Amino acid sequence: MFWLAYILFSGIVFYFGNSLTDDHSYFSALIIDFVSIYVILLVLIPKFVQKKYQLTKFFVLLILLILLNLTINFFLQNFIFANGELAFDTCLHRQIHSIQVSLVFIVIAIGIKIFMINQQNQLQMHKLEQAKTVSELDFLKTQMNPHFLFNILNNIYIQTRIDPKKSSEMILKLSDLLRYQLYECSQDKVMLKAEVEYLRNYVDLQKMRIAKIDIKFEQNGSFKGLMIYPFMFIPFLENAFKHGVSSKNVDNFIHIYAEIVEKYVIFAVKNSKNDTRPITEIKQGGIGLINIKRRLELLYKDNHELIIEDRDTYYYVKLKIELK
């Protein structure tokens, strides 16, 4: 495209401007400009602009190259092809159109090259940001799974000494949860219906462990065909069971609510409070509010709303995510 534009423009200028009288002059100017432009694009810009940013040297060498280009053009057009028979002022007049074409297309070529370099740099930066985001998400996800696994294994260990039959049922439930984590969550997104079923299995597993607690799980709307990033809700359930159940409190409760409203999924957890400290001061272990907030920021950015209420007797968390 660039060289086609050069040929068309220079042909019009040279022939209709009467600056060159023969084809030899025209093609010599074309070859000189071709060599000059590619010296700039392949040597000067990569060496002094793209890598080392030595702009002063670049502009000095660029000016010298342009002067050399014009000098060779002047010599060839007026002394080789014209046999030196024209007056000096006539030679300069013949050179005006050649100078115009050379300067215009050298500047255009430099502009295109710099634009392409900037585009490549932006693409590279975007790829690096994506790689960083993926790495960070993988790290946050791996932080969640061990914490959850260690908690459940500890609960099963306790049950093996109290009720072996119940512990075997818990192991089966745990195997279902791990199967979901290992196989169904291998992709970036999972079916929302499967994610909610995963939450239900988790709650059922906790019911086997805890006897005296009011646990409710309400679900409204159709979850079929909808996709979501995995493990967006489980942190809030883990914290509810970790900080909302106490053997000293007979009014232990955990109420879970999941609903689909138009293109939004709403997940809410309300649980009794057994710690008088603010939720921001409670140690969260390997998982915490910071991690889940970071995942939400990376994955859903402005397409989510997280509400956390820390009351005297209960915690309430509501997460609303726009599904696309």
What is the residue extent of each domain of the chain? 2-124, 163-322
Bridge partner list, 214: 253
Q: Region 151-162: what's the mean pLDDT?
A: 81
Task: Tell me: pLDDT of 304 over 80.
Answer: yes
Return d(Cα 149, Cα 147) in angstroms, integer: 5
Say if CB 259 and CB 219 are below 8 A apart: yes
**Residue burial 45-74, b: 16+ Cβ < 10 Å; e: rest:** beebbeeeeeeeebeebbeebbeebbebbb
- SS3 of residue 319 by DSSP: strand
- SS3 of residue 151 by DSSP: helix
End-to-end CA distance of the chain: 40
Amino acid at 242: K
The pLDDT, as a whole number, for residue 157 is: 85
pTM over cut 0.85: no
Task: Tell me: pLDDT of 51 over 80.
Answer: no
Other CB atoms closer than 10 Å to residue 201's CB: what's the count? 15
Bridge partner list, 220: 259
Task: Tell me: pLDDT of 273 over 60.
Answer: yes
Q: Region 211-220: what's the mean pLDDT?
A: 87
Return d(Cα 77, Cα 290) in angstroms, integer: 73
Fold of 163-322: Heat Shock Protein 90 (3.30.565)
Residue 251, classified by CB atoms within 10 Å of its CB into exposed (0-12), middle (13-18) or buried (19+), is exposed
Q: Region 246-272: what's the mean pLDDT?
A: 87
Say if CB 63 and CB 55 are below 8 A apart: no
* pLDDT (tens digit per residue) in 223-255: 888 999 888 898 898 888 877 776 665 678 999
Strands 214-220 and 304-310: unpaired
Task: Tell me: pLDDT of 128 over 80.
Answer: no
Looking at per-residue confidence, does 278 or 53 come out higher? 53
Q: Region 83-91: what's the mean pLDDT?
A: 57
CA 251 to chain centre: 45
The pLDDT, as a whole number, for residue 70 is: 81
The sign of the CA dihedral 214, 220, 224, 230 is negative
DSSP assigned state of 280: G
Percent of the chain with pLDDT over 90: 15
Say if CB 227 and CB 323 are below 8 A apart: yes
Residue 236, classified by CB atoms within 10 Å of its CB into exposed (0-12), middle (13-18) or buried (19+), is buried
Other CB atoms closer than 10 Å to residue 239's CB: what's the count? 22
* pLDDT (tens digit per residue) in 163-201: 888 888 888 888 888 788 777 777 778 899 999 999 998
Say if CB 97 and CB 9 are below 8 A apart: no
**Among 244, 252, 267, 255, residue whose Cα is nearest residue 321:** 267
The pLDDT, as a whole number, for residue 134 is: 67
Structural tokens at position 148: 């959850």
Task: Tell me: pLDDT of 270 over 90.
Answer: yes
Task: Tell me: pLDDT of 147 over 70.
Answer: no
Instruction: Say what the alpha-carbon torsion angle 277, 282, 288, 293 is, to the nearest 10 degrees.
Output: 40
Continuous segment of H or E residues that includes residue 306: strand 304-310
Residue partners of 59: CB distance under 8 A and separation at least 6: none
